Amino acid sequence: MHNFKFALNASTLFPFELDVIEQIRIAAEAGYDGIELWVKDIESYLDKGGSLKTIKEILVDKSISVVNAITFFKWSDVHEPTRVKGLVEAEKEMTMLKEIGCKAVAAPPSGNMDDLTLETIAEHFTALTTIARRMDMEIFLEFWGKANKLATLSEAMYIAMESGLSDVKFLLDPFHMYTGGSCFTNLAYLNQRNIGIFHVNDYPEHPPKEQITDSERQFPGDGIAPTEQIANYLVEMNYQGYLSLELFIGNYGNQSALEVATHGLKKMKQTYLPNK
């Protein structure tokens, strides 16, 4: 019996230009257990007169959780003042996120890491994690397939080991594994405690991975990703966390936001649940 929970990354709804309240309502109505919000959307809502209290109230009312937040503070950067500023920004954003009940934030390679060693990036990750844990927040280490550093699961695993932290959690994403050349068989080296959240998506055979962009991500099951293999690894490791649909499709034609969200959840369940 599967123990997956299902979340919607707000990026999937970006073409509809919804505010965070509407994003939450759509995710809840479509039947998701959780939602990943983008900090830029939260800040935009606050700038227009909204409040964190209202966001928290709608989350409670709709019985849905913010399971992770997407943001791009530069926690590791070759320019030390930039990195320090990034840590200050991270603490500020995590303070805001805690107020709406979010307890995790993604840490992708958003700074200039090109000339840094993996060992130095590991030190920077430890510094960020220390701040987060002091605030009772979790950091999910994320790799980007097209990044020059921290582009593969292997690099992320090495950074985790060199960090000195015993319980690092990764944000995993089939699209980034594909574009960065990560081997999907490497998932066998992880256990369920290593995964903070698993992004769900697919990708076509063309254009090739060297040219493909985020906008060409597809719903799970519509492309060439080894989805069944991935699902089997997650089941075998008894992963009980969130699968989160993260797409960047620019236009869904005549479909409504609710129709897109509902279709996405259906596709996730069809492709990731065993014995479907």
Low pLDDT (below 70) residues in the chain: 1, 274-276
CA distance 263 to 274: 19
Segment 227-252, tens digit of pLDDT: 999 999 999 999 999 999 999 999 99
**What is the per-residue pLDDT for 1?**
52
3-class state of residue 177 by DSSP: helix
User: How far is CA 27 from each of CA 5, 186, 200, 240, rounded to the nearest angstrom?
Assistant: 13, 31, 15, 20
Residue partners of 249: CB distance under 8 A and separation at least 6: 12, 15, 215, 217, 218
pTM, 2 dp: 0.96
Segment 9-53, tens digit of pLDDT: 999 999 999 999 999 999 999 999 999 999 999 999 999 999 999
Q: Residue 238 is part of which domain span?
A: 5-272
3-class state of residue 59 by DSSP: helix
Strand partners, 66: 35
Residue 34 tokens, joined: 């959780």
Tell me the residue type at 147.
A
CB 245 within 8 A of CB 31: no
How many other C-beta atoms lie within 10 A of the C-beta of residue 229? 12
Phi, psi of 138 (to 5 degrees): -110, 145
**What is the per-residue pLDDT for 166?**
87
For the chain, the domain total comes to 1
* CATH number for 156: 3.20.20.150
User: Exposed e or buried b for every residue in 149-185, given b needs 16+ CB within 10 A?
Assistant: bbbbbbbbbbbbebbebeebbbbbbbbbbbbbebebe
CA distance 125 to 246: 24
From the list 23, 2, 25, 4, the residue with the least C-alpha distance to 12 is 23
CA distance 36 to 241: 13
